[in-house]
Structures are given as C-alpha cells and as structure tokens.
Amino acid sequence: MELIKRAIRKTVKLKDLKFDHSNPNQMSSKEEEALGKSLERFGYVYEIVVDKKTMIVADGAHRLKDLLKKGVKEEEVKLLDFKDDAERRLFRQITKKVQGTHSEELDAEEYKKILANSEIEMQGLVESLATSEQEILNCINQINKEDPEKAAAKVDQLYQHTVTCPFCKRTFEKKKEWMCRHLAEGQ
C-alpha cells in the first residue's frame, strides 16, 4: 500500500480540462481581479490539480479561468488518481478549508510592515486582498490598545483617505479630524 499519493506533473491543453460547475468555492469579480493581479505579480505558484481519469479540476478552477481569459493554451498541471468523485470532492473541501486561522493581531502587524516598508500603498493592499480600506483600518486599530490619539496618528502615517468611526459611524475626510468624542473618550 502506497502511503503517499504522488501527483504526476504534465503539460496539458487547457481546453481539455473540465470545470466542476457545482464547485462551492465562488469568487466575486473583485476577488477574481485580485487573483489575476496576484498571478501576474507572483506567477502560478500553485499548479492546478486535476482528476487523472475524468480531467475535472479538483483545485485551481479560478486559476484555470484566469489562464483561459489570458489566452494561455497549455499549462503544467498536477494529475491525481482519485478513487472516485467523492474523493475528488473531499480533496477540494480539504484544500479550501484546512488552512489555519489568521491572527488579527499578526495580520495587523503584517499590514503595517507591508505599508511601511514597500512601494505598496493602502489602495494597492486593498486591491491585492480584495477587501475594503475600512476592514484593514479596523484590523490595525483593534490591536492598538493605546491612547486613541496615538493610534490615530499611527494610522495617519499609513493612510491619508477617509475613515469611519467604529462607534458613531461618522466618516472623516482627514485623519486630523478623526477624533470624535468616542475616540477621544477611548471607547
């Protein structure tokens, strides 16, 4: 009995691959755009995984869609010999769900390092992660347990657009104005 299944790497014609239209992993157009930009920036790091017998994509349908959209005709994929359709579906579930959980505190620290030490500005980070500016700011601010004015000053160094107070929901155009009574009182 083989303990570890080995995938076979093979260059295939992309038109020969089949999509599983019941794939529960759906992407918004914003997420598809972010994936496309990521693939352009970093390349196809993760190969598409395909059922060797049926040629149905088990993992990488969104990457395949992006390749087809760009006119790519052939690409190297990983062919796996699944026992049956249920095993292919189990593989898909595992690859999408067993990935660990992000720590908000470590995410916030990472966002700050990315913004402070690279050419990427807030808008680039937002587009890369297919998220909102507000979600990134909320993440950064949640870990700032310090004086609200100091926290606002730190965020001000990272970002120069509007922000919404998480307490009163007022939107402020400039960071200098980002001190409603909720933040001033430290709520």
Residue by residue, DSSP assigns 40-56 as HHH---S-EEEETTT-B
Is the Cβ–Cβ distance between 87 and 97 less than 8 Å? no
Query: Residue 171, SS3?
Result: strand
Q: Distance (Å, rounded) from C-alpha 135 to C-alpha 140?
A: 9
Closest CA to 147 of 107, 112, 177, 187: 187
The DSSP 8-state label assigned to residue 27 in this structure reads -
- Same domain as 152, residue 85: no
Q: How confident is the model at residue 177 (pLDDT cuts 50, 70, 90)?
A: very low
User: Does 27 reside within a domain?
Assistant: yes
pLDDT digits (tens, 9 = 90+) for 43-72: 888 899 999 999 999 999 999 999 999 999
- Same domain as 89, residue 21: yes
Four-point Cα dihedral 164, 123, 70, 29, nearest 10: 0
Q: Name the pTM for this structure.
A: 0.67
User: Does 1 reside within a domain?
Assistant: no
User: Does 86 reside within a domain?
Assistant: yes
Residue 39 phi/psi, 5-degree rounding, is -65, -35
Residues with Cβ within 8 Å of 184's Cβ and at least 6 positions away in sequence, in order, are 148, 149
Q: How confident is the model at residue 112 (pLDDT cuts 50, 70, 90)?
A: confident
User: Does 2 reside within a domain?
Assistant: no
For residue 51, the enclosing domain spans 8-97
Structure tokens at 14: 């992309």
Tokens 């969104």 identify what position? 62
pLDDT digits (tens, 9 = 90+) for 140-172: 887 666 555 665 565 555 555 566 666 677 776
- What total of structural domains would you count in the chain? 2
**CATH number for the domain harbouring residue 33:** 3.90.1530.10
Mean pLDDT across 90-118: 86
Predicted local confidence at residue 175, as pLDDT: 44
Predicted local confidence at residue 187, as pLDDT: 46
- Same domain as 77, residue 16: yes
Query: Listing from the earlier edge strand, what are the strands of the sheet with 74-80?
Result: 8-13, 74-80, 48-51, 57-59
- Same domain as 118, residue 58: no
- Same domain as 48, residue 25: yes
Closest CA to 127 of 28, 27, 30, 29: 30
Predicted local confidence at residue 179, as pLDDT: 45
